[in-house]
């Protein structure tokens, strides 16, 4: 997690469901070589960089990309027009590039300054994009960016969580769980007290916005409430809901084999879903007690199933105790061994076969 959050580009594999975001990001990071204005970018960037650094070659590629992305020398006014979302994404790319390639911030300020002067001289009324200094605004900029992406692309996140393709669903849950983990570990650090005059108070604001978005669009969604933890009960629910999406355990659930032995990596499967927490047990202590009792019964059933299948005792049960089948039939079944009790477990994950198992174990 520590390495992952230091470089946005490392998120591409794990969070590939954020297709719209990555389309914009990749466009900003695209090569400038084929751009017809490449020579102009080259000359201007040479002047910017030589004022503050001797590493002209090292920083020039970034400088030219930034000028291209802002629309320098473009004869199309719309190329200077930025939606709030596009401007945010540009600033994410700028910040990530600056940290990844040790770009002096003064180069960025100079390019944005030239861009702003050009817009002021223009007769067109367009909405440009201003540089956002994350280091000056946030205590931990990468955390703020990740939560910002979550808030902006919440519909994509929700769609990923509910996707029938297991790989997409897993990536969606992993993204949500990482955001929840950040909230769990960092919120108190940055929001234990709020100083309205603190210039970096925005970090705390991002946590508050994240909670509102999370509850409104995900946790209050009937189809997701059993699959993601409550932010008001993280300590009890995080490990149960998100533990399987940690890097150390993620490989153990992909791919998942169906009872027939086929790979279910592209379809949702009940054996691959996270252990649900019963909604009632979140607020009802009695439900928790009942669930624990049901879990004990379910566990006993599992033992019986194993004895039936793998021990001589199984043969004894199947034979009806020396041929007198009716004595057992009166207590267990009337028309032979019950399929749900015995044969239904063969070749399956018994912990997920019977829904009462989830009820029992989910509250422990």
Which two structure tokens, joined as six digits, stand for 249? 């355990």
Over residues 150-182, the pLDDT tens digits come to 999 999 999 999 999 999 999 999 999 999 999
pLDDT at position 288 over 90:
no
* pLDDT, tens digit (0-9, with 9 covering 90-100), for 64-83: 999 999 988 776 766 667 89
Inform me whether the pLDDT recorded for 54 exceeds 80. Answer: no
Mean pLDDT value across residues 308-325: 44
d(CA 214, CA 23): 24
Q: Annotate 252-301 with three-state secondary structure.
A: HHCCCECCCCCECCCCCCHHHCCCCCCCHHHCCHHHHHHHHHHHHHHHHH
Look at residue 81 in the predicted model and tell me its pLDDT.
78
Which pair of tokens denotes residue 53? 């650094």
Model-wide pTM > 0.75: no
Residue 105 pLDDT more than 90?
A: yes
Query: pLDDT tens, 199-225?
Result: 677 888 899 999 999 999 999 988 898
Phi/psi for 323 (5° steps) reads: 95, -15
d(CA 121, CA 113): 13
pLDDT at 3 > cutoff 80: no
Cis peptide before 255 (omega within 30 of 0): yes
Q: Which two tokens stand for residue 180?
A: 């929840």
Query: Dihedral sign, CA of 11, 17, 21, 23?
Result: positive
Helices (H), 192-246: 202-214, 234-242
What 8-state DSSP symbol labels residue 226? T
pLDDT band at 195 (very low <50, low <70, confident <90, very high): low
- Three-state SS at 201: strand
């Amino acid at each position: 997690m520590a390495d992952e959050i230091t470089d946005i580009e490392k998120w591409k594999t794990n969070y590939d469901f954020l297709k719209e975001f990555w389309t914009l990001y990749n466009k900003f990071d695209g090569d400038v070589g084929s751009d017809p204005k490449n020579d102009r970018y080259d000359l201007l960037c040479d002047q910017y960089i030589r004022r503050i650094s001797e590493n002209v070659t090292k920083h020039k590629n970034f400088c030219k990309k930034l000028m291209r992305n802002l629309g320098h020398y473009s004869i199309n006014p719309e190329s200077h027009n930025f939606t709030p979302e596009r401007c945010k994404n540009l600033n994410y790319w700028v910040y990530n590039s600056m940290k990844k390639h040790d770009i002096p911030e003064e180069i960025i300020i100079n390019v944005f300054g030239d861009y702003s002067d050009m817009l002021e001289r223009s007769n067109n009324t367009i909405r440009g994009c201003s540089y956002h200094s994350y280091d000056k605004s946030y205590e931990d900029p990468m955390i703020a960016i990740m939560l910002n992406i979550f808030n902006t692309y919440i519909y994509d996140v929700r769609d990923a969580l509910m996707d029938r393709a297991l790989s997409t669903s897993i990536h969606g849950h992993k993204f949500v769980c990482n955001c929840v983990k950040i909230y769990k570990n960092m919120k108190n650090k940055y929001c234990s007290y709020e100083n309205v005059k603190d210039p970096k108070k925005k970090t705390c604001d991002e946590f508050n916005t994240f909670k509102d978005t999370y509850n409104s669009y995900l946790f209050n969604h009937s189809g997701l409430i059993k699959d993601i933890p409550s932010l008001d009960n993280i300590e009890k629910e995080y490990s149960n809901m998100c533990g399987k999406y940690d890097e150390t355990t993620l490989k153990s659930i992909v791919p998942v084999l169906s009872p027939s032995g086929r790979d279910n990596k592209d379809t949702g499967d009940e054996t691959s879903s996270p252990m649900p927490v019963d909604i009632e047990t979140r607020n009802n202590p009695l439900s928790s007690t009942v669930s624990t009792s049901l879990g004990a019964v379910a566990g006993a059933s599992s033992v019986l199933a194993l004895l039936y299948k793998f021990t001589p005792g199984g043969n004894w049960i199947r034979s009806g105790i020396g041929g007198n089948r009716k004595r057992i039939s009166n207590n267990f079944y009337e028309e032979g061994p019950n399929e749900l009790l015995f044969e239904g477990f063969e070749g399956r994950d018994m912990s997920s076969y019977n829904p009462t198992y989830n009820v029992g174990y989910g509250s422990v």
